[in-house]
Amino acid sequence: MHHRQLFLRHVAQTSDAPLAIEITQAAGNWLWDADGKKYLDLISGIAVSNIGHGHSAVKSAINDQVDKYMHVMVYGEIVQSPQVQYATWLTNHLPSTLNSVYFVNSGSEAVEGAIKLAKRVTGKTEIISFRNSYHGSTMGALSVGNTEERKNAFRPLIPDNTVLTYNDPAAIQAISSRTAAVIIEPIQAEAGVITPNSEFLQQLREACSTHGAMFILDECQTGFGRTGTLFAFEQMNLVPDILVLGKAVGGGMPLGCFIADIASMQAFTHDPVLGHITTFGGHPVCCAAGLAAAQVLEDEKLMEHIPNLLQVFTSKLQHPKIKSFRHAGLLMAVEFYSVEDNFSIIKKLIDKGLFVDWFLFAADCMRLAPPLTLTRHEAEHACEIILAVLNE
């Protein structure tokens, strides 16, 4: 029986219409399927493969670590050098108050940890979040994000969550002395690349300071160069109390983390002791891969190349069928006039060898989030195919 049939029969599904393309190889900016057809990757496994696929530095780091040790002990009890080195690299690249890294396995788990930390540090319970944000699918992360439609089937969720509208000044007034934390994406990704109005995030940040709430930024999608700087908040003149990372943080391996000041993070060590624990969080192989990928991002100066690529997309993606084109670095949304148009265009593009996708909360938008290693020539090639499909 073919893998595709076995996939549908034995691998739990998330929709009635999975793409179900069998990928047999991925290298650089390209994917190959079981029939030998190749696809230009324009989504990076949803903001994961920021340095492309199968980079030799990442593969060597993984192999070296596998040769030394894999899992040896649960998180937090013993010194594991890949964790130590990666935590040091991350904190060296962050403002001085973000100096303690708690490694977990995924973005959702990092969100869970951040919420727990904020409750524990502030002694308060209200979590403020924003409509159409996506913070993950576990119960806590689901509670503080998503749409009502996605949440309703799973209620009751965690209590005392207030959901506000992104970019609405009323949100700032809603923060009070009851608020434990505000969690927000610096750029809303799954909502279809929605950027904050000027001052919105700074005012939220200030209101959190005024009312003793923690300001949590979820940079799972915007981190690791995606928007032109290592982290998007660097362009926003603010510093979060807790930074949540996932996706590209593991260089293609499963990893997440939340980062805060050590004085806050110490809260997990007492009342109760082991206030947050994980078996595999910060797996040594994943940390080694993540660190290698982060170093590649820096050493190969991949972020410097973004304006050049963006210039191709912004100048070429102009067409009567395109309603708008939104972008934050290489996190791009092409908005069409209907959901039907979007899905039919995406299907045709995949048939023609461009790997593109939609957004969870913006079904009329096509996602373009290629590896930052995309060449100018590949960007031009992608735009030509997109325009050809739009002209059909």
Does position 189 interact with ligand PLP (CB under 6 A)? The reply is yes
Does position 361 interact with ligand PLP (CB under 6 A)? The reply is no
Which residues are 33's β-sheet partners? 23
Q: Which residue's CB comes closest to ligand PLP?
A: 107
> Closest by alpha carbon to 386, among 311, 305, 302, 312?
312
Return the residue of 49, 50, 106, 203 that touches ligand PLP, per CB under 6 A.
106
Does position 172 interact with ligand PLP (CB under 6 A)? The reply is no
The region of 13-21, 23-31, 107-115, 176-184 touching ligand PLP under the rule CB under 6 A is 107-115
Dihedral sign, CA of 209, 202, 163, 263?
negative
Does position 135 interact with ligand PLP (CB under 6 A)? The reply is yes
Question: What's the maximum distance between 2 C-alpha atoms anywhere in the chain?
Answer: 64
Return the residue of 45, 52, 107, 370 that touches ligand PLP, per CB under 6 A.
107
Task: Count residues binding ligand PLP (CB under 6 A).
Answer: 16
* 55 vs 367 by CB, closer to ligand PLP: 367
Backbone phi, psi, residue 88, to 5°: -65, -45
The region of 30-38, 151-159, 217-225, 316-324 touching ligand PLP under the rule CB under 6 A is 217-225
Q: Is the peptide bond before 240 cis (omega within 30 degrees of 0)?
A: no
Spatial separation of the C-alpha atoms in residues 118 and 115, rounded to whole Å? 5
* 256 vs 282 by CB, closer to ligand PLP: 256
Return the residue of 28, 82, 113, 136 that touches ligand PLP, per CB under 6 A.
136
Q: Under 8 Å CB-to-CB from 282, ≥6 apart: which residues?
A: 75, 80, 83, 103, 104, 255, 257
* 61 vs 217 by CB, closer to ligand PLP: 217
Does position 112 interact with ligand PLP (CB under 6 A)? The reply is no
CA angle 89, 135, 286 (to 5 degrees): 35
Does position 132 interact with ligand PLP (CB under 6 A)? The reply is no
Spatial separation of the C-alpha atoms in residues 316 and 310, rounded to whole Å? 10
Burial 347-369 (b: 16+ CB within 10 A, else e): ebbeeebbbbbbbbbbebbbbbb
The region of 170-178, 185-193, 319-327, 339-347 touching ligand PLP under the rule CB under 6 A is 185-193
Q: Under 8 Å CB-to-CB from 125, ≥6 apart: which residues?
A: 119, 159, 160, 178, 180
- The answer to whether 3 touches 34, Cβ cutoff 8 Å, is yes
* 166 vs 383 by CB, closer to ligand PLP: 166
* 185 vs 378 by CB, closer to ligand PLP: 185
Task: Output the smallest distance, CB 250 to ligand PLP, in A.
Answer: 9
Does position 223 interact with ligand PLP (CB under 6 A)? The reply is no
Return the residue of 28, 140, 246, 329 that touches ligand PLP, per CB under 6 A.
246
Amino acid at 261: D
Instruction: List contacts with ligand PLP (CB under 6 A).
Output: 46, 106-108, 111, 134-136, 185, 189-190, 218, 220-221, 246, 256
